[in-house]
Amino acid sequence: MDLENVSSILIIGMAGNLAKITAKEIHGKNPNIKIIGVDSRKVPRSLSKLNVKFHQINYTRSHFERLFREHKFDVVLFLGRYAHVGLNILSMLTDSLDTKISGIKNIFDLCVKFKVKRIVVLSSFHVYGALPGNPLFLLEDTPLKADFKYPDIRDVVEMDKMARLWVDKHKAVETVILRPCSIVGPHIQNAITKYLTTPYAPIPMDFNPNFQFLHETDMADIILKAIDKLPPDTYNVAPDEYVTIRDAMKIVGNPTLPVPLFLIEPMAKILKKTLFKIPEYFISYLKFPCIIDNSNLHKALGDLNFRYNIKETLKYLK
């Protein structure tokens, strides 16, 4: 649907910085769109500059039903996927995975009830899992094999699976699922950003996996394209280029601490107590490859025209 014809958008996970960047990009394209942002976290002060009406609410059906009834949304953006530090749309609900998925499904059902035209769900390349048997490039139909012993990954995988199943049953609402590579930028505080910007972060001396990086502004631009250009489908989101983790560290400019691969996890536990918390699942991505294929996105959009190449993206972290 054309962004010029959109009158009202609901952004779920509005306290996140990617949601703020996306709201700014939306208003840059069409300042007449009414944006309602919701989150269970506190009201971000910066939202007053973005012309976003913010609601701090618990993620219950009754709260959302009131919002849907009052505002008649054309588009719903699920941008509260995960933040690698325990703040995600799923953990906002309860500690029960069944209840989390039920809560998300309730919101999807409200989209049908109130005739929302399009849903955009932000997932992650992490749903595929970093595994020794991964092919060179992972396609969208690759089985989701993220390690289920890590709760953060399990939540994202279950949300992604639930969205795919829901889409198959409800064709009335156009749904786009985005699985981006590592998003980095000056405003994104996720695990990979903290890892890259921490001096003397442990890095494998006997393995050098490739990584894909996408600038936060380019990701926001893809979300806008998911509203008005992308056909309903699931899309891996990544640039054509990739870089080894050692080269990424060199571009950022921080000194590293090369250690044998078997010492990475013990080192991460030390850093957890001193500099920053490295999620347990993140260690797997330093051991095994997880590169996503972006051909489906190319098929839909042609040239991706990202504003920043991978080197420029990483330099913004200096």
Residues with pLDDT less than 50, the chain: 82-96
Select from 147, 152, 179 the least CA-distant residue to 97. Answer: 152
Q: What confidence tens digit (pLDDT) does each residue in 207-231 have?
A: 899 999 999 999 999 999 999 999 9
Instruction: Decide: helix, strand or coil at residue 243.
Output: strand
CA atoms within 13 A on the CB side of 313: 28
Output DSSP code: residue 256: E
- pLDDT given at position 158: 85
- pLDDT given at position 87: 36
**Angle at the Cα of 295 (from 3 to 175), degrees rounded to 5?**
40
Identify the CATH number of the domain in which residue 23 sits. 3.40.50.720
- pLDDT given at position 83: 37
Number of independent structural domains in the chain: 1
Output DSSP code: residue 150: S
- pLDDT given at position 46: 66
- pLDDT given at position 191: 86
- pLDDT given at position 105: 84
Strand partners, 37: 11, 54
- pLDDT given at position 50: 73
* Beta strand segments in 174-228, E: 174-180, 182-184, 201-204, 210-211, 213-215
Domain hosting residue 307, numbered range: 3-315
- pLDDT given at position 43: 66
- pLDDT given at position 81: 56
